Amino acid sequence: MAMRRPKISVIGAGNIGGECARSLAMKELGDVVLLDIPDKEGVAKGKALDLACCAPIEKFDATIVGTSRYEDIAGSDVVVITAGLPRKPGMSRDDLVEVNSKIVKSVCENVKKFAPESIVIVVSNPLDAMVYVAWKVTGFPTSRVLGQAGALDVARYKTFLAWELGVSVEDIQGLLLGGHGDDMVPLPRRTSVNGIPLAELLSADKINACVERAKGGGGEVVKLMGTSAWYAPSSGTVEMVESIIRDKKRVIACAAYLESEYGLGAAKGKGMFVGVPCVLGAGGVEKILSFKLDETEQQFMNKSVGAVKDLVGLVTKMYPELA
């Protein structure tokens, strides 16, 4: 019986898009389509060709196609959206809201038309508001629309903790909630080193320094290289794609649709997307894992949710039809 390989389309063939395509192929998660605007079709095709020639060395079987035609994303199992401007030094993710809303909106109109059965993972910033745009424009069920942020923010958090503790990154368990902005909510109380509570191994000051560095981790990279990060964001994205394609049911922090969870208290159909632990499988977001926050955690969460709400407010002011 012929079984086709999964198909994964990456919209935006820039730094994150290119690195995602490479990693998806290297892990043999499926055939990859790399799409950019007509002006950048050469970049999409050139990166695809260059990546395809890695195959004999890296020993993967996957086709990688570069294109600017949305017809080519038809039948995608997963669509990753990296289209949009990245940050420049001095910019916050929120500064991108106007230009990237327009881009993500136009991309999603095409995703709805050409890949109506796909699971959509948004990477473009400001992340949580862009996932909202994707949801509204595609009209897909909320299980099939999610955003990459937590996977990356958790990875940064674990990296800095592992350095501080002098232990392997593999032995740090940690979680993070909230929007992908300055108000993201790391949860040191729920972080452990193979089950040993973090607070028993590190002083409050040192924990706090790691938390703050994780929060500003994106900005630190922007300051160093003049544009935003792409290796770790791509790794985070591919971790999510892998859990979906291989139906692994990994628990990964993602921007997912919430109404009543985590004290949100939104009316039915009026919820928003914020980072929470999700079970990712073949159905996309198969479950949101909820747990009771303590008072401080809830305060931070409320603040972060408020920031996301403000951004979504800016989006719906520009595009009232998305309200």
Q: Residues interacting with ligand APR, by CB under 6 A? A: 11-17, 36-37, 40, 82-87, 96, 100, 103, 106-107, 123-125, 228, 230, 233
Buried b (16+ CB within 10 A) or exposed e, 190-206: bbbbeeeebeebbeeee
Residues 6+ apart with CB under 8 A from 235: 23, 151, 152, 155
Q: Which is nearer to ligand APR, 88 or 317 (CB)?
A: 88
Nearest Cα to 239, choosing from 86, 121, 81, 128? 121
Question: Least CB distance from residue 214 to ligand APR, whole Å?
Answer: 16
Nearest Cα to 104, choosing from 88, 119, 87, 82? 82
Dihedral class, residue 309 (left if φ above 0, else alpha if ψ from -120 to 50, else beta): alpha
Dihedral class, residue 12 (left if φ above 0, else alpha if ψ from -120 to 50, else beta): left
Q: Which is nearer to ligand APR, 149 or 202 (CB)?
A: 149
Question: Least CB distance from residue 66 to ligand APR, whole Å?
Answer: 11
Cα torsion 38, 235, 119, 154 to 10°: value is -130
Q: Which residue is nearest to ligand APR (CB)?
A: 14
Nearest Cα to 27, choosing from 59, 74, 56? 59
Q: Which is nearer to ligand APR, 47 or 158 (CB)?
A: 47
**Residues with catalytic function:** 180
Question: Least CB distance from residue 20 to ligand APR, whole Å?
Answer: 9
Question: Least CB distance from residue 39 to ligand APR, whole Å?
Answer: 7
Question: Least CB distance from residue 16 to ligand APR, whole Å?
Answer: 3
Question: Least CB distance from residue 230 to ligand APR, whole Å?
Answer: 5
Residue for token pair 């063939």? 13
For β-strands 64-67 and 145-147, DSSP reports them as unpaired
Peptide bond into 126 cis (omega under 30): yes
For the chain, the C-alpha Rg in angstroms (whole number) is 19
Query: What is the dihedral sign for C-alpha 249, 157, 93, 22?
Result: negative
